[in-house]
Structure 1
Amino acid sequence: MIFAAMLALALALTAPLALAFRPPKFLRNRREAALATHRAQLAELTRDHDEGRIGAAEYRAARLEVERRLLAADGLAAQQLTGNAKPLLIAVIIALPIMAFALYLPGSTPTVPSEPHEQWVAHQAVEKARLDQVIAALRTHLAQVDPNSLNASQGQAYLAEALSEEAGAITPEALALFQQSLAHAPADASWRPLDEQRIAQAKAAASQ
């Protein structure tokens, strides 16, 4: 049932293309289109002059230019529309809904098994437990060292990064730890660029 509805919708959406087969009522070639355009421009110029929107000198110059273009357009070759593109258009109208419908047929698309939700939940739980252990170990470590030492600076950076990873954002506690770590990190410390980057990111997020 759903496939029939999808096919009907595809046909309905491509139906407007059939309007291209209607014979043109007025303009059949480039010459007629150009003549009609320039005649409309002449009528518009006359209307603007009569209503006082353009001056006499400007009106005469513009009218002369449009008349010159009108004469040039009158000499264009009157190449009639042949309808040579109609077979291609017919093929498109037929093929488009069929191809779109075929994409949804069973077996028409590669089968990519999705990860079961229970497996994903279990994986997330394992990752969270691992992260909690890391955070707990870092907190224990920092409680045992001098807060102004090089060892503390490194631990503060790693703890702040773990807290940010757990929260999915740089929390106020993590930002404070990054700042403390940066204050005591040597210029060549491997974790110093991390401190600077995360502090800059937190400031940018706060300014938005």
Structure 2
Amino acid sequence: MLWTVIILFSLLCLVPCWIALCKAPTITNTQQSALRVYQSQLNEIKNDLNNGLILEPEYNQAQLEIQRRLLKTDSSIQSSMPQSPLSRGSVIVTGLGLCCIPLAAIGLYLMNGVPSLPAAPLAPRLVEQKEMSQKVAPYIEQLKIRLSSLSMTDPKRIEGYLLLGKIEASRGNLIAASQAWKEALNQQFDPNLAAQIAEVQTQTEGKVSEDSVQLFRKALQAAPKDIPWRELAEQRIAEYERAHR
């Protein structure tokens, strides 16, 4: 059933392309009226010539002027008309090419994806995540105790708090992650880490706090000009300034 829906939606997406290929060119009412007027003028001067109302040089001059206007109108029609429809063979070839797009996409999915793998329900994944978090919790506590016993000048303390923050972030505990990273930042300032902490705090708090904006500003002052997150930090600072005007 799923594959049927996928194929139907793929074909539905190709409908505008088919319409564009098969749609015939059209002429507007104004252009049709202009063509009829010029045609009637040609017939009128032809009748005048036959009835002796005008001489042949006058007829030729009038005919030339009307033909000039007719050609000008025809060129405007050509420029305003859509492209001429493709031949039947071209339409078939183009249509087959369009149909190959969804087929190629499905083929790539069958080759590189895992279509036979059933979708994992959310509830079992949440239970598994909770169990994993409970298993890791004792080790996290041991790591915290170990880090608290290290001196402020010990380089291992920075590495430990960085690791602790990474573990907490992987568990989805961003508040604990930012607290751990702050311990490492207090021991040794790093502009990249400061900007990371400020962004995590902004996401968890739902706004740019004073502490976060101070971290962003310090990070921008210490970071190179071409740092990738400079634009983000400047946007956060601008958000804070707009909110506190």
More relative contact order, 1 or 2 (CA 8 Å, 6+ apart): 1
TM-score of the aligned structures, taking structure 2 as reference length: 0.39
Higher helix share: 2
TM-score of the aligned structures, taking structure 1 as reference length: 0.44
